[in-house]
Structures are given as C-alpha cells and as structure tokens.
Amino acid sequence: MNQILTTKPVRPKKMVKINTVKTFFAVSMMIFGFCMVSSGSYAMYKSKGTQQAKGTDDQNTVTNNTIVETNSEDIQIHPSVEGKILHATIIGQNEIAFVTYRWDDEEEQKEEIGGVSGDIDIDILSGEHVITITAVDINNKSNTVKQTVRGATNPKIEVVQDGSDFVIKIVDDLGIDKVEFNLNGEDSTETVDGEKEKEFRLPLIEGENKLIVKAYNIEKCTETFYALCRY
C-alpha cells in the first residue's frame, strides 16, 4: 500500500492574557503534498480544516454543571467561550490580588489582577476537560468556579492508494457524523452516526482520478482533503 498523506492535529499552546480587550483567535490549516510514483502516476493533496457554526460561531462548549466554592460573595467569576478561547471576567468589591487556574490535575497557573475587576483569556484544550478558576482579593477572600469545557477538534483524514482503490481512513476523538465524497465529479455521502474511526474504499478509473473528502464530526467541525492521482 502506498501512503499518500496523513494529517496530524495540533495541540494548542497554553496562553494567558490579562486585559480588558477581548481577543479572538482563529486557526486555519492547509497542507500540500506531492507524490511521484515510479510507474509514471502522480498525486497531489491538500487538507484544510474548518469549523462550521452550530447555532453560534463558538465550537467549544461550556457546560451548565458549574461548581462554585464560595468563600466570599464579594467576588464574581464569569467564564464564557469565544472561539477557542475561554474568557473569564472577574469582578470584586475590593481589589483582586490574583487569579489562579488549572486544567484537570495539571499544574496551577497564577496571574495578578491589581484592580477591582479584570479579564483572563485561556486557550482551550482539545477534547473534554475541567478548568478550575479561583480569584483572591487583597483581604484574602476567594471564590472558585469549576467548568467542564469541550474543546473543538477537526477530524483526521488519511488517504492511501491500494492497487485500484483509494483507501480513506477517518478518525475523530468526539465521533464522526458524516463524510462527503466527490470522486471524478460524482458526489456521495456516508452517514457514520458517531463512530470514532471509519474506513472507506473507492475504486479508481484508468487515467486521472480526482477526489475530495469532507468529514464532519458530531460538533460540526470539518476537515477537507483533496487528492489527484493517475492510475
């Protein structure tokens, strides 16, 4: 089997910004590959991941099961999702000394605020995680909020040529919803119903073959693959 191209996900780097200006972060990815086969056949591929709205532009979900550990009602913490950023606004009756946060059981991060209110922006991790945010004022009063956050991910698509077939393998941690194909101008759609891994075989014709694969996961995030080869 001659492998053509494999896409790999990029885990976002952790980043924290403290300011009053909301920051929007967008990521687009396009990978081009070129493969020459000794028999004279050739192939060219590119992959582009996109995120489509599901009632909103935000593809990350802050669930409703907020757990609040209140030592002081003088401090309020309001988390929200903006794209791939978790934005938290902290408001206190007294000056906020600092804010700490951590994902799951990872190491705690600490940021100073230095005012009665402030904002922190945190990159959301892929998959489902729990974030814990604690704000402490100058009188050592504190408030803690825990949120479950599901970070959006794009499906991963791998295309190889196996004899007279295209072999398409799709993997997604959240689950695959459907896959759209366009092979030599003919469209088809396969419903997957949440499976996390799926393989398809499509027959090649003699001469040039053009393939477009578009995979959707259950969060409506997509990945698109383009392939061109001669058989």
Domains 2-12+20-58+152-230 and 61-151 share a fold: yes
CB 137 within 8 A of CB 94: yes
For the chain, the domains span: 2-12+20-58+152-230, 61-151
Report pLDDT for 70. 61
pLDDT exceeds cutoff 90 at 202: yes
CB 210 within 8 A of CB 174: no
Indicate the pTM of the whole model. Answer: 0.51
* 91 CB-contact burial (10 Å; exposed 0-12 / middle 13-18 / buried 19+): middle
Q: Domain 2-12+20-58+152-230 carries which CATH code?
A: 2.60.40
pLDDT exceeds cutoff 70 at 167: yes
pLDDT exceeds cutoff 80 at 39: no
Residue-wise pLDDT for 105-122, tens only, equals: 999 999 999 899 999 999
Please write down the HEC assignment for all residues of 190-218.
EECCCCCEEEEEEECCCCEEEEEEEEEEC
pLDDT exceeds cutoff 90 at 16: no
CATH class, range 61-151: mainly beta
pLDDT exceeds cutoff 90 at 216: yes
pLDDT exceeds cutoff 80 at 10: no
